[in-house]
Structure 1
Amino acid sequence: MKVVALVSGGKDSCYAMMKCLQYGHEIVALANLLPADDALDELNSYMYQTVGHQIVVSYAKCMGLPLFRRRIQGSTRHHGLSYSITPGDEVEDLFILLSEVKRKIPSVTAVSSGAIASDYQRLRVESVCSRLGLVSLAYLWKLNQSLLLQEMIKNGIMAITVKVAVMGLDPEKHLGKELSSLEHHLHKLNELYGVNICGEGGEYETLTLDCPLFKNARVVLDEYQVVLHSTNPISPVGILHPSKFHLEQKMENGISLEVSDLVYEVLGGNCPQSCETMSMLSDGSSILVKADNQKIEISKTKKDNTLSLSCWLQNLSGASTGLQTDLELVLTKIELELTECGYSWENLLYIHLYIADMNKFSEANETYVRFITQNKCRFGVPSRSTVELPLSKIGLGLAYMEVLVAADTMKTVLHVQSISGWAPSCIGPYSQATLHKGILYMAGQLGLDPPTMSLCTGGATSELEQALKNSQAVADCFNCSISTSTLLFVMYCSETLVTSDLISVEERAKIFLEEMKINGSDTKSSSLVVDPLFLYILVPDLPKRALVEVKPILYVPGDVETSTDQVVVTIVSSQSSWGFKHESWHSECVQKCVIPGRLCTAILSVSQTQAVKICSTLPHLDLTDKSITEDLMDGIAKFCIYVLDSVLLEAYFSWDDVKSFRIYVRADVNISHTTLSLIYNRVFSEFAELNTTRRTTNDQIFNIIPVLGSGRSARCVDNILTCEIFARKA
């Protein structure tokens, strides 16, 4: 990509440019914001370093690149962590500056910044990039600061301190010193006082005088003054004011251009209307689409403080109206349902987006962002996973969505849009993870190499390992470990994988997680160690033609939820339903993960062999020809409800605690979605009638999802169906 680099003069912005080159990008321009008054060295800004701004203008000649500069007109007016457009805020100066760069150099597609740990700065850069249709590159994000400083020095960043503001750094002694001479001292201050080694807490600021990017000349500081801002004896604050400097030409690369030939002053106080509105998205509710050949279906249930909604299309004629039209219908219907329930898109926690053709993934995203935007989600955009499913094989349209909605907005969302070495970015309005009341819903993770956003090579096991590493990088932000906090791993696997590949994926996943525990990666988790469940789903395709997509759900208890004492609940024993009685082989079908008194998740699979045993329990069924009839599916449904009910009872849960219930059905059973829905509705109704002595409900949400195969093990994904339930106490 062609990149404009934000430069403050500091070491971080310069090294970020070097990382851009390392990953194959091209720096085509520089951009800098400076005080409106040249006499000022520093502004009271949370966003911009301005100390040493007098020298930054020389970077144009040092690098032989155009430098766009703007004098800061605004101030800090929007104090929230996530930024929204605020007239008069200093962030709008950055927007105007980059708007001009894009106007003068239309080929620019990305912006580089030196953000390491500041969400405040990163989110504002991402906000501006989003408005301008640019990609944010933050290759220093989340890097270990100790190793990062060593890298900078080793790779030729020659920078001096121009501000000190922390105990242990003396203006008279340490200003003007090269980083290489202070490295040991900074590590010592980190050990003594927790000082950020790279100065991310404002402990110090630097000015780069030379680096490998400066092909034409280096900066030589001839004279400077030390200006004290505070004489506090414990932590005095001082800055270095450059009073005289010159450029020392590098003879082998020297050029004769004057600095003024490469510097552009960006004026103006108002951004063009076209720039201001170019990324504003249309309101999805205004879209009107026809559904002559399709019937919109929706199921919903409200349990305590959460609402589960699913929406799909029944294809009545078999004719396709196109993915865009189908997805518009689904999104419009969900938006209307949310409004009727008193909610909006900002209440969403998680979205499962199922599409019939992954070749239309870009088209699906374009439609998605017309409805769900950052502006509509004040408390953070929901997390999301997307897979291709054989929807048409059971009579569905081209798009199917499940959404999980919270009545409250007490959620923590991690949405990093910058490309970095940390974890894959989420450039669109979907986040890496959403934490709500102790449950961390993580977006589907692919085996992407974060800095390049390309699938790693080496096949399915390599992708799986990278996806798990990416999952752990996200989990680190919530102080937990995927090896000890995960309740359930849903492993979506491409149909291109043969059985041996699937087995290798399963074996590698277990080894990788065990290695994490042995290596101490689980020290960030709570004292509670969860033994996770695994669910393998075989699908036609995944985004980017990936072979594996990992979707973890983690338990991240807060301070008030750390107790694991069992909550005593009085529940009347289940009556014998439909003639079933417990048999030893039932346990072969199901696995569960229980946090006593809090959570219960279970996976139940029914194979062809187990279907035969169900037939023997229900003599009216016949499986002699091995065909899957509606009667057999009715019997299997009764068996699933019976066994899952037993699991819930044993864990002191009821169906009223169930927040989600997915039924993954092999699409080649040749039974329509409509028929399957009728079967499960009927079975739940019968179950409620049979168990009148305790609280049950026939108003139970369930989502029937067509797949190519499913199972609790990758060794057996040819089950007729697999059920996944997630229950939680209020």
Structure 2
Amino acid sequence: MNPDLQVIGLISGGKDSFFSLLHCQANGHRIIALANLYPPPPPDPTTTDNDDDLESFMYQTVGHSLIPLYADIISLPLYRQEIRGTAVNRAKEYSTALTNDGDGTLSSATVFEEGHGDDETESMTTLLQRIMAEHPEANAVCAGAILSSYQRTRVESVARRLRLVPLAYLWQYPELPTPGGPREGGLLEDMAAVGMDARIVKVASGGLEEGLLWENVCAEATRMRVARAMKRFGGSVLGEGGEFETVVVGGPAGFFKGGIEVGVEERKVVRGGGGEASLSFTGGRSVQRKGSRADDAGWLDKVRIPNRLDEAFEELLETLDHEGNHMPALGLRRTVENSRSVQCTWVDKYHICTGRWTTHISNLAASHVKDSTQAQMEDIMRILGALLEHEVHRSPADIVFTTILLRSMDDFQAVNQTYAELFGTRPNPPARVTVACGDMLPLEVNVMVSVVVALGPDVARQHLHVQSVSYWAPANIGPYSQATSVRLEPDDDEAPAVVYVAGQIPLVPSSIEVVTRTRPSEESQSEQDRASFRLQTTLALQHLWRIGKAIDVAWWVGALAFVVAGEDDIKDKASIAALAWRKIHIPEIDGKSIEGSTPTDDTGFDVWNERCTEGRSTLTTGHKNKVLPDSSCLSVVPDDGGKTMNGHSVVPPFFTIEVAQLPRSSQIEWQGLGVSRAAVSFFEPIQEHGNSITACSMVSNEKIFGFIGIGVSSMEDQVYNQIDAAISRLLQRCRIPGTAEGHRTIYTPLEIDMNRLRAQVIPCRSVWNIQGEELSAALVVEYEREVDR
């Protein structure tokens, strides 16, 4: 990402939009213009109602008459536009439902001509287009979304169509670790620290009395009054659910050149139903700041940038550093001989496996492999479309997870562009993992694709697709979501779900750059490289954790770490990845809880979204899981068939897979499969003919989803029968009657007999188990079925 973005600031007058602008400047970006949307004049000018308050689902409008004063006190051009339409589309994920016109943009004229202009969101599109015409250097837009997915997804939709980078630095900010630890006043105290003066102009929640109007919510006394009311009556201390609204009348001298004054006689209280009250303004003026300007730039030092790692992951990194430094540099290579032939025989044998809730389409390659990589991808997309339509009877919108294998990461952009066309303007493309296998792919095959297709209705799926740059986790601006959840019971909002999480690489969320680590200069290059790998391992794993918690994952049923290594450090890297996976599943590391920092405010409940979706269940709900892993959902099944509870020693199936390249030249990419709202059975590892077998299963109302990880010690001919026998034994331990044929994925550097083991194939350079031992192959089996009683 360009470190010096030219930003258009969306402002409502409220505290969040302005505080987000301060974070833009703290991250080195330049604010070039302000944008505001205001309500149209009332049909009846003589009405006694508050014409300031449009009660929009998307925009704050109370106090809009004061907005023009910001042009004077901030010295930035201000552009305003009337809000057209209402909240026609009240879903959390917003889409125009229009076909992409080829260059990735939609003009506002097209939107209104097609009849979609009735939605109030599209007023933002035309306003931003007008600003971009005046400021062609503009390449980003900033919004103050903190917890509301409803608002964030709409800004992202407009930004994506206009090719602007969406910035939402405050997204999930109350939950992020900050220097010095959490403050009692949370984000409001952070605002006070930089000198913001945000006056309450509307109260709409029990306990927030009319007497709070025009009080500075950043002031300690007012913060305490609001906090007490929210504790007693429920709601957000930040006002994220519409409990109160604010207008900023002043701030740090380096950003605000003055302030706004409104006399008592210029403020009129307008009372509504249920104790709601707001202010309507008949006047107001800007005043220039007096006194010394010596502190103009000092406010930047008071903007607290969240720590890169949560406390628990800082502790994990310290553990990896300590134990990793004691691992000898083994210089080891290949205990498993690579016997892959130059020409593989399985390339043209795509595989379809249909279960109870999903269908896997695996190993898709182009019909004409001598074509360019982009042409191969176009052919694969054509084949996939035909299979979806005629074999699976579903559409691309039903794909929930994709695996893309490349020969070289140099082809990533070309493949990505073709892949994106499959989903058009849909707001939630599937989660995805992309790795480069190098020469392990069959001869002349430059790209292969496998997909997971959900068979249930769309209502049974939930998506996490954050495209805004923030401090939380890497934005997914490309055609993939962070995660997709598939419920086992489509009609039950509380039913267990399987969660597919996209591959996570070690990007710094606020810059979208791969993390680097500065170490003492006296260290050797190899020592610095090992230290950097440990940091990358930790940060990417934290991304997996944050995403999992955001989409309510309670337990990982299995995970992979794809790594890039040289001839002399693969065992090192495999050992570090395995160590990280083991340690993160210990409930406490030196007394620190692994669930991370305690939220200062958020209950996980998106009030805006609940209000706008009329009570329908959404991704962010009141029971959002705050602990991961959550051992309370777990039972452990020993090999003797008994049942025990031993969450402190349970580590889900895990393998390290060595590949040729990863996106953005990363050294590690984590991929996890999780479950939510589930009772999980963990089956203690067993040995079958030298093969280590670990499994988890989730059962709900006689519906079973299972995950088996098999570390294959040898790919001798008899291993195929051994694998089938081992799976049968494990299913018996799971008390699953009959057979449960499942989808199989094999990770191996060796040639395999596809006629004997029909599976998705990930050809790789090496495979390692959780003990840091090299394997001939790793086999992952996912099974799903209804039990006949």
TM interval, short-chain normalised = 0.7 to 0.9
Residue in 1 aligned with 2:474? 424
- TM-superposed deviation, 1:178: 4.9
- TM-superposed deviation, 1:707: 0.3
SS at match of 2:445: strand
Residue in 2 aligned with 1:16? 20
Higher relative contact order (CA 8 A, sep 6+): 2
- In structure 2, relative to structure 1, the CA distance for the partners of 1:550 and 1:183 (3 Å cut) is same
Residue in 1 aligned with 2:417? 366
On the 8 A contact 1:175/1:226 being kept in 2, the answer is: no
On the 8 A contact 1:637/1:680 being kept in 2, the answer is: no
Check if 1:711 corresponds to 2:768: yes
TM-score scaled to structure 1, two decimals? 0.78
Residue in 1 aligned with 2:632? 527
Residue in 2 aligned with 1:543? 663
Work out the CA distance in 2 between the residues paired with 1:18 and 1:584: 57
Residue in 2 aligned with 1:116? 146
Work out the CA distance in 2 between the residues paired with 1:393 and 1:478: 34
- TM-superposed deviation, 1:713: 2.8
On the 8 A contact 2:87/2:119 being kept in 1, the answer is: yes
Q: Percent identical across equivalent pairs? A: 25
- In structure 2, relative to structure 1, the CA distance for the partners of 1:647 and 1:587 (3 Å cut) is farther
What's the Cα RMSD here? 2.9
Residue in 1 aligned with 2:109? none
1:116-141 residue CA offsets vs partner (Å, 9 max, x unmatched): 11111111111111111111111111
On the 8 A contact 1:51/1:241 being kept in 2, the answer is: no
Counterparts of residues 380-529 of structure 1 (less than 5 Å): 380-390=428-438, 393-395=441-443, 397-408=445-456, 409=458, 410-437=460-487, 438-458=497-517, 459-481=532-554, 485-496=555-566, 497-515=569-587, 519=593, 521=595, 523=627, 525=630, 527-529=632-634
Residue in 1 aligned with 2:198? 159
SS at match of 1:429: coil
> Which of residues 86, 93, 98 in structure 2 aligns to 1:82?
93
Residue in 2 aligned with 1:50? 61
Task: Decide which structure has the larger Cα Rg and report it.
Answer: 1
Work out the CA distance in 1 between the residues paired with 2:121 and 2:272: 32
On the 8 A contact 1:7/1:32 being kept in 2, the answer is: yes
- TM-superposed deviation, 1:320: 4.5
- In structure 2, relative to structure 1, the CA distance for the partners of 1:239 and 1:702 (3 Å cut) is same
Return the letter of the residue paired with 2:776.
I
Work out the CA distance in 2 between the residues paired with 1:368 and 1:25: 31
On the 8 A contact 1:447/1:456 being kept in 2, the answer is: yes
- In structure 2, relative to structure 1, the CA distance for the partners of 1:158 and 1:452 (3 Å cut) is same
- In structure 2, relative to structure 1, the CA distance for the partners of 1:311 and 1:511 (3 Å cut) is closer
- TM-superposed deviation, 1:401: 1.0
TM-score scaled to structure 2, two decimals? 0.73
- TM-superposed deviation, 1:226: 4.6
- TM-superposed deviation, 1:249: 4.1
Return the letter of the residue paired with 2:507.
L
Check if 1:126 corresponds to 2:166: no
On the 8 A contact 2:258/2:289 being kept in 1, the answer is: yes
- In structure 2, relative to structure 1, the CA distance for the partners of 1:330 and 1:72 (3 Å cut) is same
On the 8 A contact 2:73/2:286 being kept in 1, the answer is: no
Work out the CA distance in 1 between the residues paired with 2:729 and 2:208: 65
Counterparts of residues 294-373 of structure 1 (less than 5 Å): 297-313=349-365, 320-340=370-390, 341-373=392-424
Residue in 1 aligned with 2:621? none
Structure 1 segments unaligned to the other structure (5+ residues): 255-293, 567-582, 612-631, 685-700
Work out the CA distance in 1 between the residues paired with 2:739 and 2:405: 27
- TM-superposed deviation, 1:76: 2.1
- TM-superposed deviation, 1:66: 1.4
- TM-superposed deviation, 1:365: 1.5
- TM-superposed deviation, 1:652: 3.6
Work out the CA distance in 2 between the residues paired with 1:565 and 1:468: 22
- In structure 2, relative to structure 1, the CA distance for the partners of 1:106 and 1:224 (3 Å cut) is farther
- TM-superposed deviation, 1:296: 5.4
- TM-superposed deviation, 1:721: 2.0
- TM-superposed deviation, 1:52: 1.6
Residue in 1 aligned with 2:225? 185
Work out the CA distance in 2 between the residues paired with 1:640 and 1:46: 55
- TM-superposed deviation, 1:651: 2.6
Work out the CA distance in 2 between the residues paired with 1:204 and 1:176: 12
- TM-superposed deviation, 1:431: 1.0
- In structure 2, relative to structure 1, the CA distance for the partners of 1:479 and 1:541 (3 Å cut) is same
Work out the CA distance in 1 between the residues paired with 2:687 and 2:535: 38
On the 8 A contact 1:175/1:240 being kept in 2, the answer is: no
Work out the CA distance in 2 between the residues paired with 1:66 and 1:647: 67
- TM-superposed deviation, 1:93: 0.8
Return the letter of the residue paired with 2:31.
I
- In structure 2, relative to structure 1, the CA distance for the partners of 1:516 and 1:416 (3 Å cut) is farther
Work out the CA distance in 2 between the residues paired with 1:443 and 1:302: 22
SS at match of 1:243: coil
On the 8 A contact 2:86/2:120 being kept in 1, the answer is: yes
- TM-superposed deviation, 1:206: 0.9
Work out the CA distance in 2 between the residues paired with 1:594 and 1:77: 42
Residue in 1 aligned with 2:673? 553
SS at match of 1:643: helix
> Which of residues 717, 730, 740 in structure 2 aligns to 1:647?
730
- TM-superposed deviation, 1:704: 2.0
